Structure 1
Amino acid sequence: MPAPVIALKDVTLSLRGNAGMVEILHGISLEVGSGETLGLIGPSGSGKSSLLMVMGGLENATGGTVEVLGQDLTSMTEDQLARFRRDHMGVVFQSFNLIPTMTALENVATPLELAGHRDAFERARAELEAVGLGHRADHYPAQMSGGEQQRVALARASAPRPDVLLADEPTGNLDGRNGDAIMDMLFGLRDRHGATLVLVTHSNALAQRCDRVVRLTDGEVAEEAARAAE
């Protein structure tokens, strides 16, 4: 049996708030296989976004181990984590996080350039074409709709051909029609590049598109279920 792409063991997370330390995650153990799609659901404050951030090394686990592609993220420095994410991960947030002074093409090409790809702009243009925005390559974020900006963010996340795609409420700022289109594109990019996808969502309908769904409550795994075979 192949090793999991993501493996969490007894992971805890505590963050300092106004009233002192707050326990966010409580001893979570979870594995995600190669090419699998995992949906994380649960009420607000259940810890699902924090769990996604721990998987991506964007939050440091307080305890336990976090392994991605066989590498222990909890032992890495910030610089090592940044390089690891650059080389192996794509992250899509609810907020688009585009650089406003760069065109769509430049936004997508920048992480490729930082990774040393000589064909950065060619690959960036191909990814924009894949999300239906080839004709908007030279437009700035302020000249695009919310749905278009999220499609640029998707292209930016997928352009480096990541092993792991992490998406935190990627349709949260969009209307139903644009949200459905973004999800179709996200799963399409996953299928095209063979990435492992972990998706945080409030939508049960979106979660049910995943191979497996984990429900969090109060920072713990409350329920886990695989999608029924079609």
Structure 2
Amino acid sequence: MTDDLPQAAAPRAPIIRIRDLTLSIPAAAGPVNILRGIDLDVEAGERIGIVGPSGSGKTSLLMLLAGLERASSGSITVAGEDLGPMDEDARARFRRRNLGIVFQSFHLIPTMTAQENVAVPLELAARADAARVAAEALGRVGLGHRLTHRPSQLSGGEQQRVALARAFAPAPRLLLADEPTGNLDGDTGRLVMDLLFDLCGQGGATLLLITHDPALAARCDRGVTIKNGLLV
């Protein structure tokens, strides 16, 4: 009997692995428990919709995944990297290597042009082609004719498209989006979300999307609900 039968492929580790994650903040009346023991695995390329009432801990979870907050206990591993032991410099390097982030507020630098805003993360990564890649990214979101416009010269929808271009220009493995249509009207919000899903599909980025819109959550591969700091 031969032993040359095809072997089953080893299962791939998830791009996100969260175990018993907690976050507490001190207060005069005692600690406030924001996250109270989160377990979550996310596969590479998966699109996850995160829903739940205001104050339930959704944004805190994204801040922990981005390394912008430090967990009280538990573990977070993203793209094989354990965020727990990292100092602030290591976390900044981790974000540059792996993440794109889109917020409800656009967080554009008002004194910079659209192209300069998109080039910022590329320049931080010492990319010599930052200006060219930024221009190409703006072209992909339909703003190739707005390269030299500053945020005050752009509509809200255009500003959020610049933010999308900035998030996707470095080709991130993981895209974190926190209510990205919250400041936009319905039609503009749908345009922005169409672009976001298209860009994730083109680049193969994993998406974690916080939204209050059930229709947006339904476009994701899977939904998770956070309530009172727990997955339910």
The TM-score normalised by the length of structure 2 is 0.94
More strand by share: 1
SS of the residue corresponding to residue 74 of structure 1 reads: coil
Query: Compared with structure 1, are the counterparts of its residues 20 and 143 closer, same or farther at alpha carbon in structure 2 (3 Å cutoff)?
Result: farther
Partners in 1 of 2:27 and 2:150 — Cα distance? Answer: 37
- Percent identity, please: 59
Q: Aligned residue for 1:137?
A: 147
The alpha-carbon deviation at position 20 of structure 1 amounts to 4.0
Q: Aligned residue for 2:224?
A: 214
Q: Aligned residue for 1:163?
A: 173
Q: RMSD of aligned C-alpha atoms?
A: 0.9
Q: Aligned residue for 1:68?
A: 78
Query: Compared with structure 1, are the counterparts of its residues 28 and 130 closer, same or farther at alpha carbon in structure 2 (3 Å cutoff)?
Result: same
Alignment of 1:49-64 (within 5 A): 49-64=59-74
Partners in 2 of 1:121 and 1:17 — Cα distance? Answer: 46
SS of the residue corresponding to residue 182 of structure 2 reads: coil
Count residues with an aligned counterpart.
Answer: 222
Partners in 1 of 2:59 and 2:128 — Cα distance? Answer: 34
Query: Compared with structure 1, are the counterparts of its residues 14 and 147 closer, same or farther at alpha carbon in structure 2 (3 Å cutoff)?
Result: same
Q: 1:102 aligns with which of 92, 108, 112?
A: 112
Q: Does 1:83 align with 2:54?
A: no
Q: Which amino acid is the alignment partner of residue 185 of structure 2?
A: D
- In terms of Rg, which structure is larger? 2
The alpha-carbon deviation at position 114 of structure 1 amounts to 1.1
Q: Which runs of 5+ in 2 are unaligned?
A: 1-10
Q: Deviations over 1:165-189 (max 9, x none)?
A: 0000000000001110110010111
The TM-score normalised by the length of structure 1 is 0.95
